[in-house]
Amino acid sequence: MSTVTPVGVRDADVVTQTPPAAGRRGWVGYLTMPLILAVVLISLYLYVNGRELDSIEARSLNAAALSTAVGEHVALTAVSTVITLLIAVPLGILLTRPFTRRVRPFIITLLTLGQAVPTISVLVLLAVMFLFLGFQAAIVGLVLYAIIPVLLNTMVGLEQVDENVLEAGRGMGLSRFQVLRRLELPLAVPVILAGVRTALVINVGTATLATYINGGGLGDVIMAGLSTNRVLVQVVGAVLTSVLALLIDYLAGLAENLLQPKGLRSTRS
Amino acid sequence: MEFLEFLGNRADDLLEMGLAHAAIVGAAVLIATVIGVALGIATYRTERPREFVLAITGTFLTIPSFALFILLLGPLGLGWPPVLFALVLYGLLPVVRNTITGLREVDPAVIESAQGMGLNRRQRLLRIELPLAWPVVITGVRVTTLVLLGIAAIGAVVNGPGYGEMIFTGLARVGTPVAVNMVLAGTLGVIVLAVLFDLIFYTVQRLTTSRGIR
């Protein structure tokens, strides 16, 4: 395989999908995003409210239909994220144990290339190959797609833990398992939190496509607009999807800052 | 066997879609690289602008692609324009982030010696900092390419070019034998492009990295 990561470039540089962690910000910084999102939602509401909706538009654009779509979207995102993390984080820990040292560059290259597999392919393949449609199929598709970036994140993050610290731990007489539990995992908490955020952001985006396999979610609203040729419905669906994605990313970022182990907080740049 | 037959029958189509897919991703990567590297160089020294640029480009990547394509439908219409525009937005973050990381990781001692040798700010950037940061920058470009290859497939919802069309047509024929072939062929096409692009980047990286740090 000629595509191994060359010298001078660490594996960390191949992780894309992690949104950059927000740095230290004042309370103004914390309020910017919710304010922008609120303004967008209010203007959208006022605009739609001021329009005469025809019966087709009214069928999609009412509180009941929209809240169902949002509820389904949140459910798709939450369930798929939990399953993704349950699979990807332990697998990441397993794949960074010493016995995989030889094959690790190969695995990372493969995972990097795997990021090119289109999300829509994963969902659609389930549909056309196994005639597997609906909410559960969407969950399987979302998890299959999100595992790659989260796994990549976890592996790269664990590798970044300073080798000297681990050696110090072994020198103090800790067993391999104790080193993992008492040094590596706590030091990797930021990485795991970043993984949670990555999984959430990816899943909330991919869940939009669940509509293609009858999985529900906000994609339904966009599709309803597309199939009936109603631009207003399409735009409402797309804006709600974007607002939801940005809100989830924002909340995950907050959680990331709050849950950071205290001892590590000051070292972040 | 049946799948191979399908590939044979549709070889012309598949090749044409592959070229279109590669072309739009290639163009988007090129534009994103130029803008991204410029933004990185402009902001890597000062904290506020740097965090601002990273936050904005990160926000682009958070917006789901399906939604963004639909939102661009109004201003840019159908076809390649909304796809190209969206791909450029999605491609910025990895390039900007790696440019900033790469430039900031250049050893301050090296920069000081360059200063001591009388190089001015521009010469330092062009002759010392950028060559040293280059491998990291190009890794960002490489990753951008891989991610954009996948996102481009969704561009088919706004009649964008490439393998997405094959995948979505396959979905429309769900239940028929040809559906599986179409979706598999489209997916495989994207993966083949990913491997090809990666090989190209590997070569480019080898050829453009300063010999001293290879």
C-alpha to C-alpha distance for B139 and A5, rounded to whole angstroms: 9
Q: How far is A86 from chain B (nearest CA, A)?
A: 23
Contact yes or no for B173/B179 (Cβ under 8 A): yes
In a domain, A112, yes or no: yes
pLDDT > 90 in chain A, percent: 27
Model confidence at A127, pLDDT cuts 50, 70, 90, reads confident
Q: What is the predicted pLDDT for the residue at A23? A: 53
In chain A, which residue's Cα lies nearest the Cα of B135? Answer: A9
Checking if the pLDDT of A6 tops 50, the result is no
Residues 17-36 of A with CB under 8 A from B: 17, 19-20, 22-23
Q: What is the predicted pLDDT for the residue at A3? A: 35
Run of H or E including B129: none
Q: What is the predicted pLDDT for the residue at A8? A: 45
Average pLDDT, integer, range A16-30: 58
In chain B, which residue's Cα lies nearest the Cα of A109? Answer: B198
Q: How far is B212 from chain A (nearest CA, A)?
A: 11
Extract the tokens encoding B22. Answer: 């590669």
Does A5 contact chain B (CB < 8 Å)?
A: yes
Name which residue leads in pLDDT, A114 or B145: B145
In a domain, A9, yes or no: no
Q: How far is B87 from chain A (nearest CA, A)?
A: 13
Average pLDDT, integer, range A41-55: 87
Interface pTM (ipTM) of the complex?
Answer: 0.85
Note down the domain range covering A216: 36-265
Model confidence at A4, pLDDT cuts 50, 70, 90, reads very low
> Best interface-test mutation with A: which of B66, B90, B178 has the largest number of A CBs within 10 A?
B66
Checking if the pLDDT of A2 tops 50, the result is no
Checking if the pLDDT of A242 tops 70, the result is yes
pLDDT > 70 in chain A, percent: 87
Give the mean pLDDT per block of 10 residues along chain B (214 residues).
Answer: 81 90 96 96 90 89 92 90 95 92 89 89 88 90 90 91 91 85 91 92 86 75
Average pLDDT, integer, range A212-230: 90
A6 vs B93, B198, B205: nearest CB: B205
Residues A120, B154: C-beta atoms closer than 8 Å: yes
Q: What is the predicted pLDDT for the residue at A59? A: 81
Name which residue leads in pLDDT, A98 or B90: B90
Identity of residue B28 = A
Give the CATH number for residue A44: 1.10.3720.10
User: How many Cα neighbours within 13 Å face the side chain of B148?
Assistant: 34
How many domains does the structure of chain A reveal? 1
Does A3 contact chain B (CB < 8 Å)?
A: yes
- Closest Cα partner for B142 from B51, B203, B65, B75? B203
Query: What's the residue count for chain B?
Result: 214
In a domain, A31, yes or no: no
In chain A, which residue's Cα lies nearest the Cα of B53? Answer: A20
Name which residue leads in pLDDT, A7 or A15: A15
Checking if the pLDDT of A31 tops 60, the result is yes
In a domain, A15, yes or no: no
In a domain, A29, yes or no: no
Q: What is the predicted pLDDT for the residue at A24? A: 53
C-alpha to C-alpha distance for B71 and A50, rounded to whole angstroms: 20
Checking if the pLDDT of A22 tops 70, the result is no
In a domain, A16, yes or no: no
A19 vs B62, B147, B171: nearest CB: B62
Residues A149-165 have pLDDT tens digits of 888 888 888 887 777 88
Residues B144, A16: C-beta atoms closer than 8 Å: yes
Extract the tokens encoding A177. Answer: 């398992």
Please return the burial class of A141, using the count of CB atoms within 10 Å of its CB with bins 0-12, 13-18 and 19+. buried
C-alpha to C-alpha distance for A84 and A141, rounded to whole angstroms: 11
Residues 119-138 of A with CB under 8 A from B: 119-121, 124-125, 127-129, 131
In a domain, A256, yes or no: yes
Q: How far is A1 from chain B (nearest CA, A)?
A: 10
Please return the burial class of B189, using the count of CB atoms within 10 Å of its CB with bins 0-12, 13-18 and 19+. buried
Contact yes or no for A221/A236 (Cβ under 8 A): yes
In chain A, which residue's Cα lies nearest the Cα of B157? Answer: A226
DSSP H helices in chain B? 2-9, 11-43, 47-62, 65-76, 80-104, 108-116, 121-123, 130-154, 164-172, 177-208
> Best interface-test mutation with B: which of A11, A121, A214, A268 has the largest number of B CBs within 10 A?
A121
C-alpha to C-alpha distance for A247 and B199, rounded to whole angstroms: 38
Residues B191, A20: C-beta atoms closer than 8 Å: no
Q: Which domains does chain B have, with CATH numbers?
A: 2-209 (1.10.3720.10)
In chain A, which residue's Cα lies nearest the Cα of B167? Answer: A121
